[in-house]
Chains A and B, each alone.
Chain A
């Protein structure tokens, strides 16, 4: 939100303060529920976005450009997990215009009827999108498009170039007995099981032999130094030399190297790694569907992407034209390494039962780690 947007919903603008006082006094009177309704029908002038914080859509400079071009303000609400994103959508019908969804969650959202079909004719850059992502069945339901592919990335191995003179080739390096207490994983059930499955040569999304995955992960116990849960924690611990090698995200690895000048290398091991892509969806009964289309178009615009990727650091764009417009550099090298991309397995939707099984497995492994 910028300083100029002190409109009706502008953060703690004049109205919300008055709203607040009204609410407080109504409550003080013991009314229990405040006798007013949040005025959020400011549809025409606003686009409401639901996303992770600090993930492209809330870059201040970009929103200023968007405002200049369309006259629309962009306001944000954030989620901390995909499951909470779904909860927010379900309990706030008709509130959000644009939602950033992991492609593996898109069909759950469309099944639950919390997002609506997108009119791709209104999106001028749609034709430039990489067909591999654009036409993915994950973004479609009953013949309609429910998501516009936005960015994609790799979850693979980040390592210290000071410790490893050569990039480690195999995922097995994580299990190397020489690396006792030098390895880190993300504290995430799905990701841990995915790597366990890849290391045991199984389908990453639906491994048949979960016992084998568990055994493999348990064997990592002597090597595990810590479990990280945010990019920030990763950087700080890496910098403090808590670990030498870890599962990591591609976009973050580039940021660590280029923005924070850390000696980080990033490699897709020969056994493969995790690929993922995020889409942009439009909320069911979005108050400003027209603005939502405009904002999506702006988000996949090469001009925005190149600025975002070069200044801040971003995952790869799903827009071919945007990737072509990128200057030569680490990003371009990494994301155009066709041999590495072929080794990726992309995240697929999981059933509730699978999620539960993976979560239980990971808790069991962590319980053993803690002993």
Chain B
């Protein structure tokens, strides 16, 4: 075998199982959903369906979809931003400042909260955030007579809940990337007279960019489709596009519209990443 055919075989063997699996269980069903989004009836209704663009038209003609979309994207940006803000320093500390057994222990402790049920976690947050809840009671205990704090059913509550749910992704993807950076590179930068900040900006940040991108993808993408956390923590302030998509499956049984909205959501995600990706790659200096 020539090296190129060998490489080709290697690529095929390595990617084959995962993508074959994805094709059979997700891509084909989603293709069916994509086709469905151009029909006027659900496939299980025993009446002939015909081609239509109305489902996509509805998105543009109904006035409420645009604000819902905007809020969902905003939510995605805020949550990704806070995860990065909190998570990156934590990842850096873990990768570069903590040594030995503690590192493994903290690494595991960061994911463990994820092994509980999301709904149970959110209900726990309601206990923390509501007036007479845990935040309120601790503040009152520390500063008697302070005004009562009721964070529940507000936009910040949604951000807090979602940031909590997705923070481990950012910490660990950044950790994995940061940990792979050889300390000697950083020392070299410093011995050449660069300030700590310059070293960070020119060496550490670009090399850890893959971690940030992976983390951001795993946070931003699901968050803009989220509906459970906004509904339970946001009260009336948590309207999202995801909620309306859910409703097309649980209330109206309008699968074609629900699929069309999902694919619009997907298109938005791909466009945003399409715009950001080249920019990020450039920052990363084709690492």
Contact = CB atoms under 8 A, between A and B. Distances in A.
A367 B231 contact: no
A245 B232 CA distance: 19
A80 interface: yes
Contacts of B247: 189, 359, 363
Interface stretch (A4-12, A219-227, A291-299): A219-227
A83 B250 contact: yes
A80 B250 contact: yes
A135 interface: no
A169 interface: no
A90 B234 CA distance: 35
A366 B239 contact: yes
B131 A227 contact: no
Contact of B235 (A84, A226, A359): A226
Contacts of B251: 81, 83, 188-190, 355, 359
B250 A367 contact: no
A113 B44 CA distance: 12
Nearest to A189: B251
Given A366-B239, A370-B237, A233 B232 contact: yes
Contact of B64 (A83, A84, A352, A363): A363
B249 A32 contact: no
B142 interface: no
Contacts, number: 88
A6 B98 CA distance: 50
**Interface hub of B67, B132, B152, B235 (most chain A Cβ within 10 A):** B235
Interface string A174-200: 000000000000011110000000000
B19 to A, nearest CB: 12
A86 interface: yes
B249 A83 contact: yes
B12 interface: no
Interface size class of B (residues with CB under 8 A): 35 or more
Given A83-B249, A242-B130, A359-B251, A225 B64 contact: no
Interface in B56-77: 62-64, 67-68, 71
Given A87-B44, A360-B62, A352 B236 contact: no
Given A226-B153, A240-B131, A352 B252 contact: yes
Nearest to B237: A370
A369 B239 contact: yes
A187 B231 contact: yes
B238 interface: yes
Contacts of A81: 250-251
A208 interface: no
Closest 9 CB pairs of A and B: A81-B250, A370-B239, A369-B236, A226-B235, A83-B253, A367-B64, A355-B252, A90-B44, A359-B252
Given A90-B44, A227-B235, A369-B236, 15 more contacts: A91-B44, A112-B44, A226-B236, A227-B236, A240-B130, A352-B254, A355-B252, A356-B254, A359-B252, A360-B62, A363-B247, A369-B239, A370-B234, A370-B237, A371-B67
Interface of A: 30, 32, 80-81, 83-84, 86-87, 90-91, 112-113, 187-190, 224-227, 229, 233, 236, 240, 242, 352, 355-356, 359-360, 363-364, 366-367, 369-371
